[in-house]
Amino acid sequence: MASAQAASAPLAGRRILLGITGSIAAYKAAMLCRLLKTAGAEVRVVMTPLAKQFITPLTMATLSKNPILVEFFNPENGAWNSHVSLGEWADCYLIAPATANTLAKMATGVADNLLLTTYLSARCPVVVAPAMDLDMYAHPATQQNLRTLAGRGVRIVEPAEGELASGLTGKGRMAEPAEIAGFVADLLDEKKKTLAGKRLIVTAGATIEAIDPVRFISNHSSGKMGYAIAGELAARGASVTLVSGRTALPVPPGVDRVDVLSADDMYEATVKAFDEADGAVMCAAVADYTPETVSDTKLKKGDGELFIRLRRTCDIAAELGKRKGNRLLVGFALETNDEEAHAQSKLEKKNFDFIVLNSLRDAGAGFRGDTNKVTLIDRSGREELPLMSKREVAARIADRIEHLFTR
């Protein structure tokens, strides 16, 4: 009975925020809303002011069973429509149709209406279904905006080819509502909890090695790659402990974060967590050296040179490699020369199941960006991935982790 009910209502209990922009394809939003509701979702609708000229708020309110949101506040009573609350409420923010104008504003961070400010506040997966004429869709600016959004993790339901409102024929017609609803259902499908029951550790971010109360030694790591991996593993059902150096990133949904500062702090927290874990992904940029002594007061500038004596930090990955047994261990290697040779050496010395290699010489890879270009290396060979968003890289790493657990 339960499985039959799940099959007929694949979005049961899910909260979908449907964004509608000013496109002739807005009429399809009515059917899309109905399909989402039929699949069991709770649907709320936010519209741009121009969208109201293509489909009425009354139609969408009737179908969604919720008031329609267009402005930041109700002009009659002053009630505030909080974009922050909307972004927190949704399990998925689906913008369909998404015009070239809206996509451009999303890519550049423009927030001049409720739909766009909600996008900037959303913590959930964001899906867009572009709809426009073929020349607008093919224009380099639109294609660059789509690449930018994809690099930030936005999912794109590709438009279809066919007759367009202009009378031309080509690619740009919004995908059919059934296809879009199916895309969202697949994205949120609970049956994909393939790592349920697994306890995994992810380390992320940079460590900070104090010199004195003011100065420290660190590196450029933003933590974005590790956070993307932690979020992806949690989305697949794993119980994830994220041991994190200092970062401004939000904690991914379903992840338990342990904050640390120094390499010694990260060593203690990670080794402790590993005792009860099924595996670990070592993504943090951990300092190899730390000051031998830390001054209690700020070091003053003198006339001569200043020398700081450094000591080796504990090698966290090597320690877990010794304790590993039959558990999973994934490493990372960021190199600037002889990349594969160094990665292969780390693979063996630290007893990794596989290692993720990226090079600072690859455009779009490395620190702080939203994209990465990596090579996955194990004892049987290598798989070089193209430049892709860090979320997509995280998904590919999670795929390999799943495979190793099911061997």
Contact 205, 226 (CB under 8 A): yes
**What are the residue ranges spanned by the domains of the chain?**
2-191, 193-405
HSE-up (13 A, CA, CB side) for residue 325: 8
Confidence of residue 70 (pLDDT cuts 50, 70, 90): confident
Q: Provide φ and ψ at 237, rounded to 5°.
A: 100, -5
Residue positions counted in the chain? 407
Q: What percent of the chain has pLDDT over 70?
A: 94
Structure confidence at residue 326 (pLDDT): 95
- The residue among 54, 13, 52 whose CA lies nearest residue 36 is 13
Select which of 219, 326, 351, 372 is catalytic: 219
Mean pLDDT of 231-240: 91
Asked if residue 191 has pLDDT above 60, the reply is: no
| Catalytic residue check, 219 | yes
d(Cα 371, Cα 265) in Å, to the nearest integer? 29
Structure confidence at residue 75 (pLDDT): 65
Angle, helix 177-187 to helix 28-38, in steps of 10 degrees: 40
Mean pLDDT of 385-393: 84
d(Cα 117, Cα 137) in Å, to the nearest integer? 24
d(Cα 336, Cα 342) in Å, to the nearest integer? 10
Structure confidence at residue 307 (pLDDT): 92
Q: What CATH number does the domain located at 2-191 have? A: 3.40.50.1950
Q: What CATH number does the domain located at 193-405 have? A: 3.40.50.10300
d(Cα 253, Cα 168) in Å, to the nearest integer? 44
Tell me whether the CATH fold assigned to 2-191 matches the one assigned to 193-405. Answer: yes
What is the reported pTM?
Answer: 0.61
